[in-house]
Structure 1
Amino acid sequence: MNKKLIIATLVSASLLAGCGDKVSGQKSPQGPLVVVEPVTVIDYQQGKQYVGRTEALEDVLITAQVSGYLKERFFTEGQLVEKGQLLFQIEPAAYEAKLASAQAAISQAEANLKKADLDFKRGQNLLPKGSISESEFDRLTAENLSAIAQLKAAKAQYHSAEVDLSYTSISAPFSGRISDSKVSLGDLVSPSSGVLTTLVSLNPMQTTFNLSERERLDLGIDYLDGSGEGKGNVEVLLTLNNGEEYEHLGEVDFIGNRIDLNTGTIAMRAKFDNPEQRLLPGQHVQVFLREKIPVQKMVIPRRAVQSDLEGDFVMVLKEDNVAERRNVIMGPQTVQGIIIADGIDATDIVMTKGLQRVRNGITVRVEATEAKDK
C-alpha cells in the first residue's frame, strides 16, 4: 500500500510539473493594435476668406441738363441698354430756335466783318497818299478788330445753343442695366428736378473688402504696376449667398494707399467678369483671396495629431513596427487633412488609431490601412 501511494504521489507531482511548464511557456502579451496612413502631399493654395460686397464699375444718376417738357422715353424699365442708346427726349423746339438764331447771328457777324475788312484794307491804301487822317485809319482798324470779336462771340453763342440742343436727347453713357423711370411723359424736367433714372454697368463687376497689413504682406500683394493691375501671386474666388462658387476668378485691381488707424486694415478691390449678369451691385459675397500658384504641402488626418505639455506630436511607424514620437508644427486645416509645416517627411507613415497605449520606442501591431477619411 505504501508503495502504491508513493507511485501515485510521484505521478501527481509529474502532472503538476508539466502543467506548470505549459503555463510558464505562454508568449508575453503583444503590442497595441494601430491603424496607419502614409503622409499625403497635396497642391495647396494659401489664402483667407473675407466678407465683401459687389459694386458696379460704373453707376450713374441720369439727370436733365436743360429745362423742358419730357417728350418721349425710349427704353423699357429694367432692360439692358447699349452705350449711346437714346433714353429720353426733351421737347427740342425752343432749343432749335435758339440754334437757328445763333446761326443767323454768325451770318450777320460775318457780313459785318467782311465790310470792316474791306474798309480797313482801303484805308491802308489811302493813308500813305494822305487821303485819310491817321485817326480815321485808327477808327477803321478798331472796327475791323471789333467785327472779328463779334464773329467769335456769335460762334460761341452758336456752340452753346448747339450743346443745349444736344442735351434734349439723353443717351446712355455706357452699356448696362437701367432702372425704373422717375418721371412721366409731359413732366417739366430741369437740372434741379432730380434723378430721371439710374444706370449701372454689369460686366465686369467688382467687390471691395478689407484685410490686415500682415495678411497683405504674407500674400505678396504689396504693390501695383503702372497699368493699375494687381501684382503678386494672388487670385480671388467668390462664394455666393447660396453657397455656390462663382465660376469666374477675379484679380486684385486696387489696393488702398494707407492703413486705417481704427481697424488696422487696408481697403482692397477685385474685378470679376460677369457675362451672365449673376452678380448685381450691393450683393454680399464671401471673398477668398488665395495664391495663384499652388505649392506642395504634407497633410495627415487631424486625429493623428496629439498634444501634451511639449506641444503637438504624431507617432510615426518605423522599421520593425517600432513607434517613434515626432513633434510637429501644424498649419491650416484643409479638406484633405491638416497641413504639417514641420516635423515629418513625405515618406513617413503616421498612426491614426489605437494611440492610447502607444509610447515612443514600443513595438506595435499594424492593422490593414483603412480608406482615407480626413
Structure 2
Amino acid sequence: MKKIYHMTALLTCTALTILPSCHNDKSSDHSDGVLAVDVARPVTDSVMLYRTYPGTAGARASADIVARVNGTLLTRDYTSGSLVDKGTVLFTIEPTQYNDAVMQSRASLETARSEYTYASNQAAAMKKALESDAVSKLDVIQAESNMEQSAAAIKEAEAQLNLALTNLGYCTIRAPFKGHITSSTVDPGAYISGGGSPFTLATIYDDAEVVVTFSISEPQYQQMLGIRGTPQEEIFRKVPLSFDNELAHKYTGDLYYTSPIIDKSTGTITLKCIVDNPYGELRDGMYVTVHMPFGASSHALLVKDSSIGTDQLGKYLYVVNDSNRIVYTPIETGDIYRDSLRIVTKGIGPESRYVTSAMLKVRDGMEVKPVEAR
C-alpha cells in the first residue's frame, strides 16, 4: 500500500508538470494576433459605360386652380398635398347672386319666347289681311320686322342664360385631372375677386408620370448614337436614374424627345425622358442624375460596391499585397452594375485582392490573413 501511494504521487506531480506545457503550446498557435479577412478579386465582364448628366423632374401636367367669379370662399374640400381624383370638388364660392342671375335669365328667355310667339302670329295675320287689302304692305313688313327682333331677343336671352349658368358653375371648383394639389392661397371666408382676372387658389400636378429634362453636348450625343452592337431603341429605353437622396425604389426613364436645335450659347441638345411614378416618390422640381450610355467595355473591372470606402480624398479600397499587408488604394469608379457591383476605372488590376469584410478593423500597413472565396 505504501508503494502504491508513492507511485500515485509521482504520477500526479508529472501531470501537473505537463499541463502548463500543453497550455503554452496552444497559445503559441495564435500569439501572432493576425486578423483573418475575406478578400475577393475583381470580376471582369463586358458592360455598358455611362456618363452622368444633371436633370430636373417635372410633372407630366400641371394646372393652376383658379377662381373665375367674385364672391366669398365658402369651403376648401381637400387636404393640402393630398392626391385628388379628377372631378373632386376642391372649393366652393358663395353662389347666391349667380343663382339669382340664372333665374333672371330664364325669366327673360321666357319673355322673349312669348314675345316671339305674339310677333309671329301677328305677322301671319298681317299677311292674310294683305290678301284682302285690309292692311298695307308696309304693315306686313313692320310685323315681320317685329317677329325677327323677337327671334333675336330669344338668342340674346339664351346667351345670357348660358353665361349665368357658366358663372354659377364656376362657384364649384373641381380638379381637372387626378394629381397632387398644393395648399390653398386663401382660407374660407376670404373674398375672392376672380371676375376681372382669374385668381389662383392652388396648383395641381399630375405626377403619375414625371418628365426628366436634361442637356447633353452635341458630340457626346453623336457618340451615344454611334455605340456599336446596340440598337438605338435599347439606348433610348430604360435609362438609369439616380437621386441625391436614395429612394426606396429604382427608376429608369424612356427617352421620347430630342430638341431639333442645338443651343448656340452652350452647344448642348435638350432631351426628355418619361418616368413611371407608381409609388409617388418623384415630385415636380426634384433634381435627377441621368446615366446615359456612351460606349461599351469588354473587360471592365467590377468590385462589390459595399467594399468601397469614401473619405476626404475620394473613394478607396483596402487591397492585400503579396506580403499579406493592407494597402490603402485610391480608386476611380464608374456606375453601379447589377445592383451590387461597381465599375472601377482606375486604381486596381484584375488580380488585385480587395477586402470585403472587417473593413472597420483593418488599417494601412496592417498584416492580415486573407481568406479568398473559392
- TM-score interval, smaller chain: 0.5 to 0.7
What is aligned with 1:206?
211
> Relative to 1, partners in 2 of residues 1:300 and 1:278: Cα closer, same or farther, differing over 3 Å?
closer
What is aligned with 1:67?
70
What is aligned with 1:343?
none
> Relative to 1, partners in 2 of residues 1:77 and 1:98: Cα closer, same or farther, differing over 3 Å?
same
> In the aligned structure 1, how far is the partner of 2:296 from the partner of 2:53?
24
Q: Deviations over 1:232-256 (max 9, x none)?
A: 7412221011356952321122222
> In the aligned structure 2, how far is the partner of 1:155 from the partner of 1:148?
11
Q: Deviations over 1:308-343 (max 9, x none)?
A: xxxxxxxxxxxxxxxxxxxxxxxx96745669xxxx
Does 2:138 align with 1:135? yes
What is aligned with 1:242?
245
- Does the CA-based 8 Å contact 1:220-1:234 persist in structure 2? no
Q: Deviations over 1:44-76 (max 9, x none)?
A: 335431001111122222221000011111111
Unaligned runs of 5+ in 1: 1-36, 222-229, 303-331, 340-349, 354-370
- Aligned pair count? 269
> Deviation at 1:84?
0.8
Does 2:279 align with 1:276? yes
The structure 1 residue matched to 2:147, chosen from 139, 144, 147, is 144
SS in 2 for 1:250: strand
Does 2:158 align with 1:155? yes
> In the aligned structure 2, how far is the partner of 1:204 from the partner of 1:118?
62
- Does the CA-based 8 Å contact 2:44-2:350 persist in structure 1? no
The structure 1 residue matched to 2:112, chosen from 101, 109, 113, is 109
Paired residues for 1:1-374 under 5 Å: 42=46, 44-191=47-194, 194-220=199-225, 233-235=235-237, 236-243=239-246, 247-290=250-293, 297-299=297-299, 335=342
Q: CA RMSD in A?
A: 3.3
- Does the CA-based 8 Å contact 2:49-2:296 persist in structure 1? no
> In the aligned structure 2, how far is the partner of 1:337 from the partner of 1:99?
73
**The structure with more radius of gyration:** 1
> In the aligned structure 1, how far is the partner of 2:86 from the partner of 2:247?
32
> Relative to 1, partners in 2 of residues 1:245 and 1:231: Cα closer, same or farther, differing over 3 Å?
farther
SS in 1 for 2:127: helix
> Deviation at 1:139?
0.4
Q: Deviations over 1:83-113 (max 9, x none)?
A: 1100111010100000000001110011011
Unaligned runs of 5+ in 2: 1-40, 227-231, 303-332, 336-341, 353-371
SS in 1 for 2:207: coil
> In the aligned structure 1, how far is the partner of 2:260 from the partner of 2:53?
20
State the TM-score, normalizing by the size of structure 2.
Answer: 0.64
> Deviation at 1:194?
4.2
- Does the CA-based 8 Å contact 2:57-2:288 persist in structure 1? yes
> In the aligned structure 2, how far is the partner of 1:280 from the partner of 1:189?
29
SS in 2 for 1:201: strand
> In the aligned structure 2, how far is the partner of 1:197 from the partner of 1:336?
46
> In the aligned structure 2, how far is the partner of 1:98 from the partner of 1:156?
12
Q: Deviations over 1:281-331 (max 9, x none)?
A: 11111111248xxx98521659xxxxxxxxxxxxxxxxxxxxxxxxxxxxx
What amino acid maps onto 1:108 in structure 2? Answer: T
